[in-house]
Structure 1
């Protein structure tokens, strides 16, 4: 059963770093798969988890770039994966399953933001394809390894951007409505949160719990598609078009941004819980008003909408979770 969106009031806050969350931990013997683990928040999460003994597998669309970014970090394994290519997802998962290893943490951190209209080979809009559908298929394919762990977590990086749009179930791929890169991004981030609700409902009885999170506002390579107007929109540029520093914008550092990722993946405070959206190393409150600066909008944690998204995702990908199970 999805847990309630009520903060736990932890000892951490917005300034906590990933290293701070894991201080004193020894997670030797655990294995994690981290998409996006060679850039931005994913890279910092991979570094922090590897430093406390986790064996980290980083799927990468550009293996050479990933190898360079991860140089010097022990316990990191690389393998090719393109989240917009279903065959690539299956090949990665088959390789991992063949190793016989349990998967304790699946951290779905890869993503694109505010990208120009692009479609995958199936005609699906790239942000929905990469951020949601690719991770939906990857999680399904890795489900047997998650079961082997006898207690696993699936963590999906959503965003405050989920507030920009619920999922449009009538036209998720902008086949009929005009394309808006921010609405597309918001829809994909809502999908990330709803996926956590659905996956948690499916996995709870088997010891697999799922979470979504907003890492905070951070300067990362995720912003590569933004122009100066976009930077102004997110509070990262002044009226004259000058980019602000992390401190001036009130943003988090990458180390702080990765904290909630690893907290969701490892914290004992979340034992027996799941299906919730988190921020600042805590469960976020429910934001029923647009004026509330923190929290999650109801459309991103609604169990019925999660079921609708699950059904639609199965139809779009042709992928069902093991044994025909449903969320």
Structure 2
């Protein structure tokens, strides 16, 4: 196994208030091809806009062609095609259509997601947050693997959340078949899975010129991510002790704008500061600090999300769950 990525800040010069446009500056991405899931709303839309404004061709998978056109038709260098992350056949059709174009894929930004939804399942019986946030993105990346290798230097960005600190992956019952459903535990599991996926993808992909990163975009109220939440539920989710009491006071946590929220994804996608690096979890346009599992800090990455053995185990199980062997080695 290759050396474990160094999970500590590199002091990038950026911060929590940096915008995606400030990150990209005058960089030209002409000739580069990007795919941005969730790229027609919220931070995904801002990510799409900024990459396209720098000259990249951006392809956006959309569940609704009508909504995709309404959001994207005013942005140059953008294409959109139908895809639903909870429908495996839809993912395959999208990937096949892209591969048929013969284009390399330089940037794959996995920004789509759902949060704290009521218990729903896909047609296979998998819990919807795990299915959308992890399984669908794993399948999409697997299917697009030939185009990522063809780029001769690609980056995959897995958009996670600091919500991962609420818990890791339950390998024995990931779909809440034997335990009571907890929408926040399900969300945390899916976000931990996003981080573990990037860690293992980077390990397997770097020999092919493919590096992977996971990111926490920040707390951004102006998105559709919280559409299933009541108003009083939106905001920082506290860590609870064994008696169910809050161990942290985050009611005054700082929210970000959409423009700031897209910054870390864009930084991971294009920054030369990350050349030769990969497999790390980032926030505020820098590599985050690894913190203990019982840390009361809202920032940083917890041990269960950067455990290489857990990452390898999740990879193997995901291949079994979705019936796809990812030829990344």
Q: Check whether TM > 0.5.
A: yes
Shift of 1:321: 1.3
Structure 2 partner of 1:270: 274
Which of residues 5, 8, 25 in structure 1 aligns to 2:7?
5
RMSD: 1.4
**Aligned-pair distance for 1:290?**
2.1
Q: Does 1:261 align with 2:265?
A: yes
Q: CA deviation at 1:233?
A: 5.5
**How many angstroms apart in 1 are the aligned matches of 2:257 and 2:232?**
22
Unpaired segments of 5 or more residues in structure 2?
239-251
Q: TM-score, normalised by structure 1?
A: 0.93
- 1:208-232 Cα deviation digits (max 9, x unpaired): 0000010010011101011133126
- Between the aligned partners of 1:149 and 1:259, the Cα distance in structure 2 is 23
Aligned partners of 2:71 and 2:113: how far apart in 1? 17
**Structure with greater helix share of residues:** 1
Which of 110, 113, 131 in structure 2 is aligned with 1:111? 113
Q: Which residue in 1 is equivalent to 2:173?
A: 171
1:225 alignment partner, SS class: coil
CA distance in 2, matches of 1:188, 1:215: 15
For 2:210, which of 205, 208, 211 is the aligned residue? 208
- Partners in 2 of 1:170 and 1:310 — Cα distance? 14
Residues 1:230 and 2:233 are matched in the alignment: yes
Give distance in 1, aligned partners of 2:174 and 2:101: 36
Q: Does 1:297 align with 2:302?
A: yes
Structure 1 residue runs of 5 or longer lacking an equivalent are: 236-247
Corresponding residue for residue 94 of structure 1: 96
Do the aligned residues in 1 keep the contact of 2:46 with 2:259 (CA within 8 Å)? yes
Secondary structure of the 1:88 match is helix
**Which residue is 1:188 aligned to?**
190
Worse overlay, 208-217 or 282-291: 282-291
Q: How does 1:1-327 map to 2 (within 5 A)?
A: 1=2, 2-219=4-221, 220-231=223-234, 234=237, 250-288=254-292, 289-322=294-327, 325=328
**What's the offset of the Cα at 1:164?**
1.0
Q: 2 CA distance for matches of 1:10 and 1:44?
A: 21
Q: CA deviation at 1:74?
A: 0.3
Q: Structure 2 length normalisation: TM-score?
A: 0.93
Q: Partners in 2 of 1:77 and 1:11 — Cα distance? A: 33
Equivalent pair of 2:236/2:253 in contact (CA under 8 Å): no
SS of match in other structure, 1:162: helix
Q: Distance in 1 between matches of 2:212 and 2:57?
A: 20
User: How many residue pairs end up in the alignment?
Assistant: 313
Q: State the 4+ residue runs in structure 1 displaced beyond 6 angstroms.
A: none
